[in-house]
Amino acid sequence: MLASHSLSPHSCETKNKKEKPIQFETAKRISLVLIGAIIAAVGLQFFLLPNHLLDGGVTGLSIIAANLSGLPLGIFLILLNIPFVFFGYRRFGKQFAISSVIGIIALAILTLQHMPHGFTDVPILAAVFGGAIVGVGVGIVVRYGGILDGADTIAVFIDRITVFSVSEAMMVINGIVIALAGFVFGWEHALYSLIAYFVAHKAVDTTVEGLNEARCAWIVSMRVREIGTAINSQLNEPVTYIKESDSEGREPHGVMLAVITRFDEQKLKSAIRKIDPHAYVVITSAHEVVDRVSEGSLYSGRL
């Protein structure tokens, strides 16, 4: 006889509240992956493909294979990406694989039929604008947990088993693909494809990281409290004191962290120099900042 369990209305209500944000985030992620695939398809269909250009990776190999065989591009996008999605599933998890499959299938469907004419017949314009549009589309998919091109996953694998970094592996892979394009489409088209690749690569980075990239400022000074107060008042940004200044200690300098926008970088430097011209300042890029420091923790005591 099966045991019976009863759930109170309160427990059901709590469960529903927890499920709603998860369902919303899943729907949001899938929607944005589809939007990214649509944008990438626009770049391919209206700029790159009509001008016999490509942007490297598995997509580039698929374009070459489709041209040589006469079969639709979408078929090769699915077939050639299967092993890379499987590797990504083993390496990055189920959510990554699902997002990637959705994006790749959407891109494949949208490229089954080629547009006979694009928005421009000028190769340099097609390379720049096509690369930028494809890069934005790919960047959106990557930002929300998937890929449209499996070359990224194989680059990670090469990084793990060889002395090559991910970026070096990507350069080699895409260099080979673009060289193959030279034999198929001609070397002039291969050179324009190289431009499209670099533009797309930059567009992906910009889309994933955002235009308003934050800065982390690490400041070492005997007057960190005064500097922190200036940052609070002049830049309206919170600061975190890692270590207080202590003139009697073995290491008298204090250490603090401030996260600012890149537009405030010069203002920050000016504020620091007015208080302590000899302060040691290290400014690095922060690709993502989650939440903000609460007001009550801005002036915490010593650690």
The 10s digit of each residue's pLDDT in 105-146 is 999 999 988 887 888 889 999 999 999 999 999 989 988 888
Q: Cβ-count burial of 99 within 10 angstroms (0-12 exposed, 13-18 middle, 19+ buried)?
A: buried
The answer as to whether 3 is a domain residue is no
Domain identity same for 170 and 150: yes
The 10s digit of each residue's pLDDT in 37-70 is 999 999 999 999 999 998 888 999 999 999 899 8
What was the pLDDT predicted at 298?
Answer: 45
Q: Using the predicted structure, report yes or no on whether residue 297 has a pLDDT greater than 70.
A: no
Which CATH number fits the domain that encloses residue 268? Answer: 3.30.70.120
Domain identity same for 142 and 270: no
What was the pLDDT predicted at 56?
Answer: 83
The answer as to whether 105 is a domain residue is yes
Distance CA 121, CA 107 (A): 23
Tell me the pLDDT band of 207, cut-offs 50, 70 and 90. confident
Domain identity same for 266 and 181: no
The domain of 56 spans 20-209
Distance CA 151, CA 60 (A): 10
Report which of 137, 138, 268, 167 is spatially closest to residue 214, judged by C-alpha positions: 268
Looking at 158, 175, 209, the residue that finishes a domain is: 209
Say which residues have a Cβ less than 8 Å from residue 238's Cβ, sequence separation at least 6: 232, 258, 259, 292, 293, 295, 297, 298
Domain identity same for 78 and 175: yes
Q: What is the pTM of this model?
A: 0.71
Looking at 164, 179, 209, the residue that finishes a domain is: 209
The answer as to whether 96 is a domain residue is yes
The answer as to whether 65 is a domain residue is yes
Distance CA 27, CA 16 (A): 16
Q: Using the predicted structure, report yes or no on whether residue 300 has a pLDDT greater than 60.
A: no
Domain identity same for 111 and 240: no
Domain identity same for 192 and 233: no
Distance CA 101, CA 60 (A): 18
The 10s digit of each residue's pLDDT in 1-24 is 444 444 445 444 544 544 556 788
Looking at 169, 186, 209, the residue that finishes a domain is: 209
The answer as to whether 302 is a domain residue is no
What was the pLDDT predicted at 7?
Answer: 44
The answer as to whether 129 is a domain residue is yes
Q: Structural domain tally of the chain?
A: 2
Domain identity same for 174 and 233: no
The answer as to whether 303 is a domain residue is no
Tell me the pLDDT band of 201, cut-offs 50, 70 and 90. confident
Q: Using the predicted structure, report yes or no on whether residue 26 has a pLDDT greater than 60.
A: yes
Domain identity same for 70 and 121: yes
Domain identity same for 37 and 65: yes
Task: Give the Å distances, CA to CA, from 243 to 159, 218, 229, 231, 274.
Answer: 37, 11, 15, 17, 21
Domain identity same for 141 and 286: no
What was the pLDDT predicted at 39?
Answer: 96
What was the pLDDT predicted at 167?
Answer: 63
Q: What is the mean pLDDT of the chain?
A: 82
Tell me the pLDDT band of 156, cut-offs 50, 70 and 90. low
Residue of higher predicted confidence among 150 and 2: 150
Range with the largest mean pLDDT of 24-28, 73-77, 212-216? 73-77
Of the CA atoms within 13 Å of residue 99, those in its CB half-sphere come to 27
Domain identity same for 142 and 48: yes
Distance CA 83, CA 80 (A): 7
Distance CA 27, CA 8 (A): 29
**Token digits of residue 175:** 């260099």
The answer as to whether 6 is a domain residue is no
Domain identity same for 166 and 180: yes
Percentage of the residues of the chain whose pLDDT score is greater than 70: 81
